[in-house]
Structure 1
Amino acid sequence: MHSLQNHLLIAMPSLDDPMFGRSVTYICEHNQDGAMGIVINHPMPLKVAELLNQLDIEYNAKSKAADAQVCAGGPVQHDRGFVLHTPKAGFASSLQLTDELMVTTSKDILEQLTSDNAPEKFILALGYAGWSAGQLEQELADNSWLVVPADNQIIFDLCHAEKWQGATQKLGIQAWQLSPEAGHA
């Protein structure tokens, strides 16, 4: 089995699930037991400042980060926050995914997001996407997803509305070239 950790899943046009339609999902973990990822391009009608306010966490309302939108990271544990971010040590529960990317789930990062101690770039998502053993492989065989190596420019620098098209372009194709029909030779 080839691990898709540190790859982006790009939803095919035929995938009409409300959570995953036109989604780009960063795969944090993929092994024989299944996979876990965070949808990085489905913004919720919720700003970081509003979420921090709901959690009674002090924040700097003038910070650019306070105005960022929170993403719907997936249908599993959608009340739990995941911060995908550029490397920044010192948080209680961070996992180094690559030299350029970490994920943190502890409250202490939320307290720092609008401060000078925040990671340079981040996405705050509520929930994650999970696949049981063999499920993601079957969805790939069913032509539900395209796969491309993760790219921090797509993750952090493109606006949410541009990430799906930006990820397909990394494959050397334009989004309009994707057929909603599955085909197998």
Structure 2
Amino acid sequence: MTTSLKGHFLIATPALNGSYFHHSVIYLCEHDDEGAMGLVINQPADIMLDELLAQVNIENNTPSTASTPILLGGPMQQNQGIILHDSPNNTEISSQISDGIYLSASTDLLRILGTEHSPMHSLIALGYSGWGAGQLEQEIVENSWLTTAADNDVLFNTPSEQCWHAAAELLGIDINLISATVGHA
């Protein structure tokens, strides 16, 4: 591996049509010689935050919890909740991914969402996407993914249904013009 893609987006190409990752944008939280781990940021689950909190017996009745969607972060460990956020005030329960972006699996963070102690921006996912050593690199060579540096506006503020196009636009690409079959000369 020559360059880590930690803190980057993976943008599914049309080659992944029909797969779990169809039109996915993944924020890579880890990427090293041992593999990669990331969260799909544009696949809403059929559950809102207030419902999830009730299921795990966490008291948080702030108004924003009813309107906060939960995402499907990937096909692995979908019973595991993961929070991506932008608050340096919660570093004791979070790991820094990149400049200003943190990852947490702490239920303590769920308790403060929507309060004055809450991160300004956050997304909550169930499950994650993972790759073994060299697997992601091979998928990139096979034209399954485009990569670009992550953008916080796309990460936290872009509606799920617009995320795939918005991430591709970071590369100056109209993703609709990319063919599902690509060859090498």
What TM-score, normalized by structure 2, do the two folds share? 0.95
Residue-pair matches, total: 184
The structure with more helix, counted as a fraction of residues: 2
Change (3 A) 1:78 1:92: farther
* SS of equivalent residue, structure 2 residue 124: strand
Where in structure 1 are there 5+ consecutive unaligned residues? none
Per-residue deviation at 1:17? 4.7
Change (3 A) 1:174 1:51: same
- Kindly, what percent of the aligned residue pairs are identical? 42
Number of the residue aligned with 2:141: 141
Number of the residue aligned with 2:56: 55
Counterpart code for 1:94: S
What are the superposed Cα offsets for residues 37-70 of structure 1, whole Å, 9 maximum, x if unpaired?
Answer: 011000011101110111111112422x431110
Counterpart code for 2:127: G
Number of the residue aligned with 1:95: 95
Counterpart code for 1:182: V
Given that 1:92 and 1:108 are in contact with CA atoms closer than 8 Å, whether structure 2 keeps it comes out as no
Per-residue deviation at 1:78? 0.8
| Structure 2 CA distance for aligned equivalents of residues 28 and 130 of structure 1 | 10
| Structure 2 CA distance for aligned equivalents of residues 24 and 94 of structure 1 | 22
Given that 1:91 and 1:108 are in contact with CA atoms closer than 8 Å, whether structure 2 keeps it comes out as no
> Mean alpha-carbon deviation: is it higher for 2-11 or for 87-96?
87-96
| Structure 2 CA distance for aligned equivalents of residues 21 and 105 of structure 1 | 26
Number of the residue aligned with 1:78: 78
Q: Describe how 1:25-40 pairs up with structure 2 within 5 A.
A: 25-40=26-41
> Mean alpha-carbon deviation: is it higher for 65-74 or for 37-46?
65-74
Per-residue deviation at 1:19? 2.3
Counterpart code for 1:115: T
Number of the residue aligned with 1:156: 156
* SS of equivalent residue, structure 1 residue 41: coil
Where in structure 2 are there 5+ consecutive unaligned residues? none
| Structure 2 CA distance for aligned equivalents of residues 9 and 90 of structure 1 | 26
Q: Describe how 1:87-126 pairs up with structure 2 within 5 A.
A: 87-90=87-90, 92-126=92-126
Per-residue deviation at 1:76? 1.1
Counterpart code for 1:152: N
Counterpart code for 2:13: M
What are the superposed Cα offsets for residues 141-181 of structure 1, whole Å, 9 maximum, x if unpaired?
Answer: 11000001011010011001011000011110112111111
What are the superposed Cα offsets for residues 72-97 of structure 1, whole Å, 9 maximum, x if unpaired?
Answer: 00111111111011123236531011
RMSD of aligned Cα (Å)? 1.3
Per-residue deviation at 1:16? 2.6
1:67 aligns with 2:67: yes
| Structure 1 CA distance for aligned equivalents of residues 150 and 90 of structure 2 | 24
> Mean alpha-carbon deviation: is it higher for 88-97 or for 134-143?
88-97
